[in-house]
Each structure stands twice: as C-alpha cells, then as structure tokens.
C-alpha cells in the first residue's frame, strides 16, 4: 500500500480501539502521520464514550497528527477531515449522492449516516497531539440507533474492501490540510464543505443542550459554526446534533 509521504500505517486484525492506540502511541512520543488501522475493534468508541460497533468489514482507523493548527483553529480540522472523507469515499465508491452533515458526518439522502469522526487533542511530550479517528461503514451498518445508517457496499452495489479507502483518504487529507494551511485557508475549506453539504438552504433540526431548533440551514460562518435562520433571526450554533428533515 503506497501512502503519500509522510503518512504510514500499521494494520491490526483486531484492537480495542484504534483511537486509544493512537493516543497511547502519542504519549510514548511516536512520530506523526501514523495511521493505526484495525479490521475490527472490541471497544470502538465514538463521541462521549458512546459505543462504535466495529464488526469486520468496515473501516476503522485513527491518524496521529501533531500541532495541526493553533488552538483557536483546531476545531476546523473536523471540516478538513469531512471534506477529505467525502472526496475519498466518492472516489472509491463512484457514488455522486454522498453529502456532508454538520460538522463532519458522511450521509446520503435524508441524513442516512455512513461514517463517524472522532477528534481528540491531548498534550504529549512532543506537543499537542490530535487523534483523528474515522469509522466508515463499508460492509455493514449498525441498526437500532436513533438515526438511519447505510453502508458503501449496498449503495455502490459492489464490494469495497475497507483497506482500499486508506490511500485516497490519506491523499485527500494531504491535499485539504495543505489548502487549510493551519487555519489560514479555512475560507476555502468552508467553501468546499458547503458545496458538499446536505440540505443547504433547506430546513434542518438542531438538538442543542437545552432545546431543539428548526430552521433554514444557511451554511457555516467564518469559523465553521452552523448558521440557522429561524424566522427573522439568524442563530449561530456552536454545538448540537443535526437532523435532516
């Protein structure tokens, strides 16, 4: 497998969590741009410790990066990763109907989810490390969740081995991280993200900590926050779960 320099990969049959492995490597001083990939995970996790079901056949990998941007721009990495994931998944599957849901979920029609990203920044002896974790449904999709799910194989009508995503994903990350320029080029990333967004200028629902808002999804502001038009008011949303209607 030929990854663009300086990316490299270690592939495991099974791991507890690729994310935890990257974080522990970071604490041991491992060099950056290392992918830890597993064919299955026994304790795959998502945001806030939620379980990420990880049977064989899907893509589970986390990338180790050091100091990808100043602290005030680091949250933009999620959009860089989302755009890269969109490009890689579109290329490998040939699908033209993939979309992004704020901030970085890959979806098809009506918000059917295909992936999840997990980004964690920690302090290490080499500086601030970021673990960028991708879970992508290739062969199967989990059932019984609060949102609908799908997998690339079903959508593309053919078998897409999870490992084949790694090269296009690394290439796309390389390209978009260079465009991003540690935050200086976020305007271009934002534009690319909005071109790939689901339900732009349509109604969406956003569940926040204390309430649920419905409104027209107007796009991203200059730092990536979601802009929702609720009647005459434009609400800027920093945190929340988005539901497409």
Partner 1 sequence: MKSPLPATAKAPKTEAIDSDLVRKLAQLLNESDLAELEVEKGDLRIRVARYSSAAPQIQHYAAAAPAQQIAPAAAAAAPAAPAPSAASSENVLKSPMVGTAFRRPSPDAKAFVEIGSVVKAGDRVLLVEAMKTFNEILAHRSGTVTATSVEDGQPVEYGQALMTIE
- Residue ranges that bind partner 1, judged by CB under 8 A: 47-50, 71-72, 74-79, 103-104, 117-123, 130, 187, 209, 221-225, 233-236, 238-239
Q: Which is nearer to partner 1, 126 or 156 (CB)?
A: 126
Phi, psi of 192 (to 5 degrees): -65, -40
Contact present, 114 and 121 (Cβ < 8 Å): no
Q: Which is nearer to partner 1, 39 or 224 (CB)?
A: 224
CA distance 200 to 231: 16
Rounded to the nearest whole angstrom, what is the least distance from the CB of residue 234 to partner 1 in the complex?
6
* DSSP states along 18-48: HHHHHHHHHHTT--SSEEEEEEEESS-B-GG
Q: Which is nearer to partner 1, 39 or 101 (CB)?
A: 101
Instruction: For the chain, give the longest Cα–Cα distance.
Output: 53
Q: Which is nearer to partner 1, 44 or 155 (CB)?
A: 44
Rounded to the nearest whole angstrom, what is the least distance from the CB of residue 124 to partner 1 in the complex?
11
CA distance 170 to 26: 19
For residue 105, what are the β-bridge partners? Answer: 101
Rounded to the nearest whole angstrom, what is the least distance from the CB of residue 99 to partner 1 in the complex?
17
Rounded to the nearest whole angstrom, what is the least distance from the CB of residue 3 to partner 1 in the complex?
24
């Amino acid at each position: 497998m030929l990854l663009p320099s300086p990316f490299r990969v270690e592939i495991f049959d099974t791991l507890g969590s690729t994310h935890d492995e990257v974080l522990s490597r970071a604490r041991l001083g491992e060099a950056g741009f290392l992918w830890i990939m597993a064919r299955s995970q026994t304790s795959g996790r998502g945001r806030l410790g939620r379980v990420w079901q990880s049977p064989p056949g899907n893509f589970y990998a986390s990338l180790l990066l050091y100091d990808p941007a100043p602290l005030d721009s680091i949250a933009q990495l999620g959009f860089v990763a989302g755009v890269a994931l969109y490009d890689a998944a579109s290329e490998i599957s040939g699908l033209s109907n993939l979309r992004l849901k704020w901030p970085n979920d890959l979806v098809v029609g009506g918000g059917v989810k295909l992936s999840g990203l997990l980004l964690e920044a920690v302090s290490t002896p080499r500086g601030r490390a970021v673990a960028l974790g991708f879970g992508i449904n290739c062969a199967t999709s989990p059932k019984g969740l609060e949102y609908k799910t799908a997998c690339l194989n079903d959508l593309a009508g053919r078998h897409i081995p999870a490992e084949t995503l790694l090269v296009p994903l690394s290439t796309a990350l390389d390209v978009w991280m260079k465009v991003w320029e540690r935050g200086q080029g976020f305007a271009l990333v934002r534009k690319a993200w909005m071109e790939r967004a689901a339900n732009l200028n349509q109604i969406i629902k956003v569940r926040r900590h204390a309430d649920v808002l419905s409104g027209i999804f107007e796009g991203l502001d200059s730092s990536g926050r979601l802009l929702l038009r609720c009647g005459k008011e434009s609400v800027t949303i920093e945190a929340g779960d988005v539901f497409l209607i």
